[in-house]
Amino acid sequence: MAFPTETVYGLGANALDDEAVKKVYLAKGRPSDNPMIAHISSKDDLSQLTDKITEDTKKLMDAFWPGPLTMIVEAKPIVSRVTTGGLDTVGVRFPSNPVAMAMISAAGVPIAAPSANLSGKPSPTTFQHVFDDMDGRIDAIIEGSDCEVGIESTVIDMTGETPTILRPGIITKEDFEKVLGKEVLLDPALLEKPKLVKGEGLKVTTDDFKPKSPGMKYKHYAPNAEMIIYKGEKAKVEEAIKEEKAKREALGEKVEVIIFSDSDSKFAAHELFARLRESDKAGVDVILITALSETGVGFSVMNRMLKSAGYNVVIV
């Protein structure tokens, strides 16, 4: 069953039940070594899933739960290894969306839930997005309001000496550091830029890309349309987009232009996946989109945007 959360819609099953979780992988068409997040409806529930709750984990839980934060902790044996993709760690999140909370609490068990999109597609941020991907593949969708955040939760690994961000989100490195009073790390894979090869724009390959969070290695968030990111000074970017648009339209292609602003990266987070899906629905051939600077929430939005575009970036 799919349900709304404050980040994106999720597709849920009992996180303690192998067979239930397998059905989720099937409905999404998702590789089964990509672990799912277990969703809980109170802070106390964390101790059902792990024996090891560190001081840092407590601090982050108190600061950011309920909310768009997933913490990776050691998993008790009770957690289905189908949920964890065979790992002995589990990602746990206590969402703040009241519908999600009510559903999890009514279920009485932790709910394993990936984003409710077909594997590879942009994550769904509205009921309609879920319906478009999942109609006929799942039993039910709980219709809620559109998701406020628009990108998935921040994933932070709490199992090591120093907390390490595996997936950036609306809660940033700086936010964690403020609460913990110490530096947290970024998984090096988040900073690794696939090789830039000068060609028509700058084409890149992802061959030597080895992220620690298994979910980060698959083709992700991709619209059907070709997508080109423009990076550089604002006026030059706008000029380059205008030129490319004219060129493509002269070839009879349908072009979508998406302009985001650094001064409102939260808006960009909210809009990105929805705009990609709208473009596909409208039969767009090519999406021309502006890059954000990679700081704060902009870093998280760029993480998704680069994957959506298959790292197709033009630097002007």
Residues contributing to the site for ligand TXA (CB under 6 A) = 5, 7-8, 10, 34-37, 68, 70, 72, 84, 87, 89-91, 93, 95, 113-115, 152-153, 155, 166-167, 213-216
For tokens 């000496």, the residue is: 161
Q: Which partner in Mg ion, ligand TXA, none is near 187 (CB below 5 to 8 A by kind)?
A: none
Q: In what order do the strands lie in the sheet with 185-186?
A: 13-14, 111-113, 37-39, 89-93, 69-74, 154-157, 164-167, 185-186
For tokens 């870093």, the residue is: 299
Q: Which is nearer to ligand TXA, 72 or 190 (CB)?
A: 72
Take residue 302 and report the two structure tokens written for it: 């760029």
Give the nearest distance from C-beta 132 to Mg ion in angstroms.
Answer: 16
Q: Which is nearer to Mg ion, 84 or 115 (CB)?
A: 115
**Which residues sit at the interface with Mg ion, rule CB under 5 A?**
115
Q: Which is nearer to ligand TXA, 5 or 300 (CB)?
A: 5
Q: Which partner in Mg ion, ligand TXA, none is near 158 (CB below 5 to 8 A by kind)?
A: none
Minimal CB distance residue for ligand TXA:
215
Give the nearest distance from C-beta 195 to ligand TXA in angstroms.
Answer: 23
Q: Which partner in Mg ion, ligand TXA, none is near 66 (CB below 5 to 8 A by kind)?
A: none
**Nearest CA among 136, 100, 104 for reference residue 118:** 136
- Count Cα neighbours of 93 within 13 Å in the Cβ-side half-sphere: 29
Q: Which is nearer to Mg ion, 241 or 309 (CB)?
A: 309
Give the nearest distance from C-beta 255 to Mg ion in angstroms.
Answer: 28
Find out whether 229 and 312 touch, Cβ atoms under 8 Å: yes
Give the nearest distance from C-beta 35 to ligand TXA in angstroms.
Answer: 3
- Alpha-carbon torsion 10, 80, 78, 139, what sign? positive
Give the nearest distance from C-beta 294 to ligand TXA in angstroms.
Answer: 19
285, with CB counted inside 10 A (0-12, 13-18, 19+), is middle
Find out whether 34 and 102 touch, Cβ atoms under 8 Å: no
* Core vs surface per residue 236-256: b (16+ CB within 10 A) or e: ebbebbeebbeebeeeeeebb
Q: Which partner in ligand TXA, Mg ion, none is near 153 (CB below 5 to 8 A by kind)?
A: ligand TXA
Give the nearest distance from C-beta 175 to ligand TXA in angstroms.
Answer: 16
Q: Which partner in ligand TXA, Mg ion, none is near 37 (CB below 5 to 8 A by kind)?
A: ligand TXA
